[in-house]
Amino acid sequence: MDRPIPFVPVVKSPKGSEEADVEFITILRPPKYIKEKLIGKEIKVNEIKNFNVLLESITEIAIEKHVIQIPTESMFVFHKLLTFVQREDEEKLRKDLYYVYYMFRFCPQKGMLIQDIKSLIKDKKVGRNVVRNINKYFKNADSKGPILIERENGPDNFIGNVRADAYERISQVLV
């Protein structure tokens, strides 16, 4: 990060070269030695408040010979609902809200996902922040949250009113 412009990796493919926007997401104020040793000074680092919450509920998946730890579905959604308000870039904010909507719409076990998020809201100290964020952005179908999701989703052949659908799905965790 000692350069005015962050390093942008170039991806080579049979069709040529393209820039790839790569960034690492981490806790607020990670130790400098870790940041420089593991990531390097040229890679963009996005520090997110409450990032550590993602690590409190993980699952492991195997990809070929590698085992990777990822947040559970409920923790991923809970974290997005907790942190989307920190986004200064509206495009990223829209994307975060769309991920939440996508999970509520396509998760194979929607009922369990909703119950797990309700439990996280109740059990975690930062749960009240999630409630505040939902109340602020999802007062009704024409609030800022559903509008942003509708813009990110675009036209939908299966859902007639994406705003109303987004509002109904996301507000379920408060009932």
The C-alpha atoms of residue 143 and residue 135 are separated, in whole angstroms, by: 10
Q: How far is CA 175 from CA 22, 37, 135, in A?
A: 38, 46, 12
Residue type, 143: S
DSSP of 63-86? ETTEEEEEE-HHHHHHHHHHHGGG
**Average pLDDT, stretch 147-161?**
96
1 band by pLDDT with thresholds 50, 70 and 90: very low
The total of other beta-carbon atoms located within 10 Å of residue 101's CB is: 25
Taking only the tens place, the pLDDT of each residue in 87-140 is 888 999 999 999 999 999 999 999 999 999 999 999 999 999 999 999 999 999
Question: Tokens for 22?
Answer: 């790569």
Per-residue pLDDT, 137: 98
Can you give the pTM of this predicted structure? 0.82
Percent of the chain with pLDDT over 90: 67
- Where are the chain's structural domains? 72-174
